[in-house]
Amino acid sequence: MQNYYRLLGVPATASVAEIEAAYRALHARIHRRAARDPALNERLQEAYGSLQILTDPRRRWAYDQLLGQQPAPARQLSAMEALMERYAPVARWLNWALLAFCLLLALDRVLPLRELPGELVLSRQLVSISASASNPQVGYDIQTPLTKFRLHSAQAPRAREGEFLTVWRTPLLGVVRRVSSPRAPEGPAPFEPYGTGVYGGALAALPILLLLVAVVGVLPNRAPETRVNTAVAGSLLLVLTVVVMWLF
């Protein structure tokens, strides 16, 4: 429905004199060009029709009633808001994928460990496990036919090359959680390898934080900006979690 007040450039509370003055000003400004421009001529005709309605009290009252029943015009989105609206559905699916990854980690941690007896130590590679030059520490990357894990230098004598170990790892992702060396002088009692990645210690906070971010991103009635921001933050946390799992 055409808004005659907006067409004449006056408020809805304008008096008849103000409406007539606005029409005269519009007519004086465009009537010469309207003779050559069909669009301006149509605008001038609409302005004249607006004048006829808005200067008649009964017709103006009826028009105001109809205009008041019209829905408010939709707010124009900014370029950034439009971009967020566009990518919000994709971001929500990504958040669901991040949530599924967190559930996979949780299942891998709580399910019974898989025991691998008779794992032959194929190699031991010396590595640095400290970033401090004032307190250097070393460890060993142990390679067996089915597993790879790291031991602190104090644990390394329990896994010499050519010896057989019993290794327990998680059933889904194969993360080594316990090791036993039956023939070691220290005895066959199982021990944990150096660093447990996201399965223990301070780094265990990574998947918990990732879970919280993903949950916020999949909740109903979230703003598009919230969905996109949580997807971006969750993706960064996912990369960091995978890197930690790979390194440790």
Q: Could you report the per-residue pLDDT of 52-88, keeping only the tens digit for each?
A: 999 999 999 999 998 888 776 666 667 888 888 889 9
Q: Say if CB 179 and CB 166 are below 8 A apart.
A: yes
Nearest to 119 by CA among 162, 150, 87, 81: 162
Q: How confident is the model at residue 142 (pLDDT cuts 50, 70, 90)?
A: very high
Query: Over 70: is that where the pLDDT of 93 sits?
Result: yes
Nearest to 11 by CA among 74, 67, 59, 49: 67
Burial letters 44-70, b for 16+ CB under 10 A, else e: beebeebbeebeeeeebeebeeeeeee
CATH number of 4-68: 1.10.287.110
Q: What is the pLDDT of residues 19-56, one digit of tens each?
A: 999 999 998 988 888 888 888 889 889 999 999 999 99
Q: What is the pLDDT of residue 111?
A: 94
Instruction: Please state the domain extents for the chain.
Output: 4-68, 79-107+203-247, 113-195
Q: What is the pLDDT of residues 183-239, one digit of tens each?
A: 888 888 999 888 767 787 677 888 999 999 999 999 988 889 999 999 999 999 999
